Chains A and B, each alone.
Chain A
Amino acid sequence: MSAVDAAVRPRRNIELVLLILALVVGCGANALTALNEGTSLGSNFWLESGTITIASLALHVSLRFRAKYADPLILPIVVALNGLGLAMIHRLDTPQTDYGNAQARWTVIGMALAAIVIWFLKDHRTLRRFTYISLILSAVLLVLPLVPGITAGDINGAQVWIRVGSASFQPGEVAKITIGIFFAGYLSTNRDLILLAGRRIGKLQLPRFRDLGPMVIAWLASIGILIFQHDLGMSILFFGIFISMIYVATSRASWALLGIILMFAGSVAAGYIFPHIALRVDGWLNAFDPNVFGRQYGGSYQIVQGLFGMANGGLIGTGLGQGRPDLVPFANSDMIIAAFGEELGLVGLFAIVMMYALLVTRGMRAAIGARDAFGKLLACGLSAGIGLQCFVVIGGVTRLIPLTGLTTPFLAAGGSSLLANWIIVALLLVISNAARRPVDTTPIAPDEASGAPETILTQAVKQR
């Protein structure tokens, strides 16, 4: 027995060490920019570094109190990414703009929200009660940018923003979370039906037609985002989250296959019907064509400038503050990866990609460890969402796939994206806490006459 129920260590001290290292990376990037540009470290630098340090340490302390067994690696990774993003946004600020400080404010708000989630969400299973409310909420959030009066109108070709006071907000980012909760709740309840019913053709077990309902809804919703909001990235992201969750819930390749075919068909059809998507694809395939490069609308100027920047950076980069990433339009949001590629080079960019990969791995690890289907699916869907978002953005910037307007999680300038991603991190931490917390391995009935149940249980634990 003693070999089985070995104590699980909280590993909060390792988190603290890694967190300090992550803060050194984040603040170091900021300091290095200032040094390279020949300016001194102003009060701005100390204020920003100070707030980030205090906020992330506060988050660490709240983990010590409320989620002792949470994964120790998630927080340092996210803090490092956020710090790097802050430094780069600051570096890209012209004397007229001030995205850096805005991003720092949003970072603090995001961390505060994450701390609130960690303090008040004791058990992630509570969220399961809000399965259908989440569905309605996601629908409202997705439709909001289209409602006259609140909509911020067409910004850069996509209608995904709403106006709140003087600021604009992207409700679709928050919908990522609510849609994850809905799918997790729905699939964990109806998994058996989807899994067991249906007809088998060869190796593929096809689902019954009426079980296809949620898939059709998810497909229609993502096509709707594409048609009405002109946002290919978000549309791919939502459907991708759904596909990955249904694949994990049923472990049936047929579902994933069906979904990918549907998505592909939808995208191709959209490419034929909507000129702006066709232009995007053209700008991707023929990026270096002078006509496409110089085109007024939907040209490849942005992506090609990004590629030139990364080529300029080479293997080890030009050094922070010494390249010209500001030549790329939207260098601090959509194209921030190109800016990092230029100034930190391939070596630095790969370190960033590694951090994302590790973050997704830790999310999946929490999903594997979670003891309930809902937690498994939610952790899996949220981390698959982060992974997919990185793939779509980095793939777009490096011209692997057509460029779409998604934000790079934690790096890109944008308050709504930062808020939503910090909440996602808090949820992953809560789920990983439940997953790593030691279980009560004592048998249900110690007074059982025969010793059988005890040995059965210990074996079950051993096998796991």
Chain B
Amino acid sequence: MNELTLTVLRLGFLVLMWVLVFSIVGAMRRDLLVGRRHKTGAPSAREVRRNPALAEPPPRQHARELVVVEGPLAGASMALGESPILLGRAQEATLVLEDDYASGRHARLFPQGSRWFIEDLGSTNGTYLADRQLTRAQPVELNVPIRIGKTVIELRP
């Protein structure tokens, strides 16, 4: 095979490698692109006009305080900051519940975006959000009771 063909093949191979790299990046770009159907986040004004269901709900109030409404600690309250809160009987817990029906590390309240989520940490007696047992992390709205053992807590603005 002559020299020219070999040089062309040699350069062609480098081009081929980059073609592979760029097609991977291209496929990835499509993965990252937020298409019309995959759109998340705030809808535009025109989309809201066409489909009123997409309109943003009125701005919510942010939870600033956690209040114990029932149980041994009733009346206690604590301010919500930016760090997650561990609920349970263990001394490590942020809010130490003196409740015989609560587990050592019972549940976790954590902020994400503008809202708070509650997550059960594998407690014995379970955690109830609005009388429904938690099976996964769920957002907590204001004034919705969270029951842990005999303790009921709520988030307040």
Of the candidates B1, B19, B35, B132, the one whose C-beta lies within 8 Å of that of A444 is B132
A25 CB to closest chain B CB (Å) equals 5
- B113 to chain A: closest residue by CB: A463
- B27, A14: Cβ atoms closer than 8 Å: yes
- A351, B84: Cβ atoms closer than 8 Å: no
Q: Which of A4, A192, A444, A463 has the most CB of B within 10 A?
A: A192
Of the candidates A11, A14, A18, A192, the one whose C-beta lies within 8 Å of that of B20 is A18
CB-contacts of A299-340 with B (<8 A): 316-317, 319-320
A320 touching B13 in the complex, CB below 8 Å, given contacts A21-B20, A192-B108, A358-B24: yes
Q: How many residues of A contact B (CB 8 A)?
A: 54
- A197, B92: Cβ atoms closer than 8 Å: yes
Of the candidates A25, A35, A358, the one whose C-beta lies within 8 Å of that of B6 is A35
- B6, A319: Cβ atoms closer than 8 Å: yes
Q: Does B70 contact A (CB under 8 A)?
A: no
User: What 1/0 mask marks residues of chain A from 431 to 464 whose CB sits below 8 Å from any chain B CB?
Assistant: 0000000000000110000001001100110111
Q: Which of B10, B35, B43, B51 has the most CB of A within 10 A?
A: B10
Q: How far is the CA of A354 from the CA of B18 in the complex (A)?
A: 9
Q: Does A396 contact B (CB under 8 A)?
A: no
User: What 1/0 mask marks residues of chain B from 22 to 45 whose CB sits below 8 Å from any chain A CB?
Assistant: 011101100100010111110100
B36 CB to closest chain A CB (Å) equals 9
User: What 1/0 mask marks residues of chain B from 7 to 19 whose CB sits below 8 Å from any chain A CB?
Assistant: 1011101101111
B42 CB to closest chain A CB (Å) equals 9
- B24, A18: Cβ atoms closer than 8 Å: yes
Q: Does A77 contact B (CB under 8 A)?
A: yes
- A351, B24: Cβ atoms closer than 8 Å: no
- A192, B17: Cβ atoms closer than 8 Å: no
Q: How far is the CA of A73 from the CA of B138 in the complex (A)?
A: 33
- A316, B84: Cβ atoms closer than 8 Å: no
Q: Does B4 contact A (CB under 8 A)?
A: no
- B14, A464: Cβ atoms closer than 8 Å: no
A205 CB to closest chain B CB (Å) equals 9
Q: Does A116 contact B (CB under 8 A)?
A: no
A21 touching B23 in the complex, CB below 8 Å, given contacts A192-B84, A348-B17: yes
Of the candidates B9, B105, B138, the one whose C-beta lies within 8 Å of that of A192 is B105
Q: Does A22 contact B (CB under 8 A)?
A: yes
Of the candidates B39, B43, B83, B135, the one whose C-beta lies within 8 Å of that of A196 is B83
- A355, B54: Cβ atoms closer than 8 Å: no
Q: Does B67 contact A (CB under 8 A)?
A: no
Q: What chain B residues lie within 8 Å of A460 (beta carbons)?
A: 139
Q: Which of A77, A317, A463, A464 has the most CB of B within 10 A?
A: A463
Q: What chain B residues lie within 8 Å of A361 (beta carbons)?
A: 28
Q: Does A147 contact B (CB under 8 A)?
A: no
Q: Does A100 contact B (CB under 8 A)?
A: no
Q: How far is the CA of A11 from the CA of B10 in the complex (A)?
A: 32
Of the candidates B14, B23, B141, the one whose C-beta lies within 8 Å of that of A348 is B14
Q: Does A108 contact B (CB under 8 A)?
A: no
29 of the cross-chain contacts (CB-CB < 8 Å) are: A3-B37, A17-B23, A21-B20, A24-B16, A28-B13, A28-B16, A32-B9, A32-B13, A36-B6, A72-B27, A76-B20, A192-B84, A192-B105, A192-B108, A192-B121, A195-B84, A196-B92, A317-B10, A317-B14, A344-B13, A348-B13, A351-B17, A351-B20, A351-B21, A352-B17, A358-B24, A358-B28, A444-B135, A455-B57
Given contacts A17-B23, A351-B20, list 10 more A-B pairs with CB under 8 A. Answer: A4-B40, A35-B1, A73-B28, A76-B20, A344-B14, A344-B17, A355-B20, A444-B135, A455-B57, A463-B113
> Which A residues contact B (CB, under 8 angstroms)?
1, 3-4, 6-7, 11, 14, 17-18, 21-22, 24-25, 28-29, 32, 35-36, 72-73, 76-77, 80, 192-193, 195-197, 316-317, 319-320, 344-345, 347-348, 351-352, 354-355, 358, 361-362, 365, 444-445, 452, 455-456, 459-460, 462-464
Shortest beta-carbon contacts, A-B, top 6:
A351-B17, A319-B10, A6-B37, A354-B21, A6-B38, A347-B14
